[in-house]
Amino acid sequence: MDNIKTIEKIAYKQPAVIFNEFDPLKDEILRIIDNDGHVINEELFPELDDETVIKAYKSMLFARVADDMAVSFQRQGRMYTYPPINGQEAIQIAAGLIIREDDWLVPAFREMAIMLAKGVTLREIFLYYMGNEQGSNFSKAKHVLPICVPIASQLIHATGIGYSINYQKKDEVVFPYVGDGGTSEGDFSEALNFAGVWKVPVIFTIQNNQYAISFPVSGQTRSVNLAVKAVAFGLPGIKVDGNDFFAMYVAYKQAFDHARAGKGPVLIEALTYRKGAHTTSDDPSKYRTKEEEMEWDKTDPLQRLKKYIVRKGIWKEDEEKLIEEYKLEVEKQFTEAENFTPYPLEDVFQFMYVDTPDVLNIQKEDYKLYQNWKESRK
């Protein structure tokens, strides 16, 4: 009988109000600096020392340089399909300041910046997009899942991990990601529903970058925004200016404290804009205008933070020089990925199972016989 009582208590409780100043039902949005880097909400401005803010800006800059170069590597035919993150750096670098080594990152596939922040190496990311799954066997990063392509399905894994954390009485928090299109998937709703019932320490982030490939968010839902979807599941939800580094930091800090205090999951809608294509195979000019892109350019997360740090007088670096340094570093890691061991036949088979069925070995050996035959004809 105990479980029934517990569930009733959770199910009929009102959503916790940690973000009560920003009611998604009224389509309110958390914003701290404007497009010119002026602080417009002094009260909520986070306690971050200058050094951390500069470090965050540099991380955003590095991610952008790496992202731009990834696109050009793909154009040069040195890498396969890649989903650019250009424009979405503030969300991920803000989360990167909050997420700890033992916390879990559950990415969709447009989270390169937070993956780097979590300790995944650029070499590994490049290796993956060169077509080698070894890029998802992270050498340094702990508790990061490989990118998950089936839309929104990863959110459910995050809820399951949250259950494990509660069950094992661990002090960890889970950070799953999804895009605006993903909120239409059944798995999105199922993940939030289970997370609410189980009261798991999970911070769901929707990177609302306005488009699911070509389809605008206005066609995905009749809801006033995406954060409001939390309300029906009994979770706190907040809409945040995702191109405002400080707003994202404040939202993540509150969500993190909420989750760690055992108060359950949170939904953050981060309003942003995918400046690049959906992937390198996509052409945004088919479905959106230059005017629209230029309008969103004014909200660019790097420019906004840059204006803030310049105005405050804490930016001392030579940005051009910094970009050159970053390019060299990206080039170095890309070369390492290019020089990674060729893909052996064994790798096709050996990770399918822990206890591999004989049939896989038979298929592999048969293929080797064919290879030998082919070799002998040269």
Partner 1 sequence: MSVMTIVQAINNALDIMLEEDKSVVVYGEDSGREGGVFRVTEGLQKKYGVERVFDSPLAESAIVGTGLGMALSGLRPVVELQFDGFTYPAFNQIISNVSRMHNRSRGMYKVPMVIRFPYGGGINALEHHSESPEALYAHIPGLKVVIPSSPHDAKGLLISCIESDDPVIYMEPKRIYRAIKQEVSDDKFSIPLGKAKVLTEGSDVTVVAFGAMIRECQKAMVMAKEAGISVELIDLRTIYPIDKETIAESIKKTGRIVIVAEAPESFSVGAELMAIANEEAFLYLEAPPKRVMGFDTIVPLAKGEPMYMITPDRIFYEIERTVKY
Q: What would you measure as the largest C-alpha separation in the chain, in angstroms?
A: 76
Residue with Cβ nearer partner 1 (355 or 375): 355
DSSP β-bridge partners for residue 202:
174
Distance CA(256)–CA(183), nearest Å, equals 22
Helix (H) / strand (E) containing 177: strand 174-179
Per-residue buried b or exposed e for 47-64, using 16+ beta carbons within 10 Å of the residue's own CB: ebeeeebbebbebbbbbb
Residue with Cβ nearer partner 1 (148 or 206): 148
Is 343 catalytic? The answer is no
Is 274 catalytic? The answer is yes
Q: Which residues contact 64 (CB under 8 A, 6 or more apart)?
A: 86, 89, 302
Q: Cβ of residue 152: shortest distance to partner 1, in angstroms?
A: 10
Q: Cβ of residue 4: shortest distance to partner 1, in angstroms?
A: 7
Q: Which of 31, 64, 143, 274 is catalytic?
A: 274
Residue with Cβ nearer partner 1 (138 or 204): 138
Is 278 catalytic? The answer is yes
Contact 143, 105 (CB under 8 A): yes
Residue ranges in the chain assigned as alpha helix (H): 2-11, 50-75, 89-98, 112-117, 122-129, 153-167, 186-198, 229-232, 245-260, 290-297, 301-312, 319-338, 345-349, 358-376
Helix (H, G, I), strand (E, B) or coil at 170: coil
Q: Which of 31, 110, 143, 278 is catalytic?
A: 278
Q: Cβ of residue 104: shortest distance to partner 1, in angstroms?
A: 7
Residue with Cβ nearer partner 1 (159 or 225): 159
Q: Cβ of residue 255: shortest distance to partner 1, in angstroms?
A: 19
Q: Cβ of residue 146: shortest distance to partner 1, in angstroms?
A: 5
Distance CA(362)–CA(307), nearest Å, equals 62
Helix (H, G, I), strand (E, B) or coil at 75: helix
In the complex, the residues that contact partner 1 under the rule CB under 8 A are: 1-4, 6-7, 104, 133-134, 136-138, 145-146, 148, 150, 153-154, 156-165, 167-168, 186-187, 190-191, 193-194, 197, 347, 350-355, 357-359
Residue with Cβ nearer partner 1 (119 or 146): 146
Which residues form the catalytic set?
Answer: 274, 278, 287
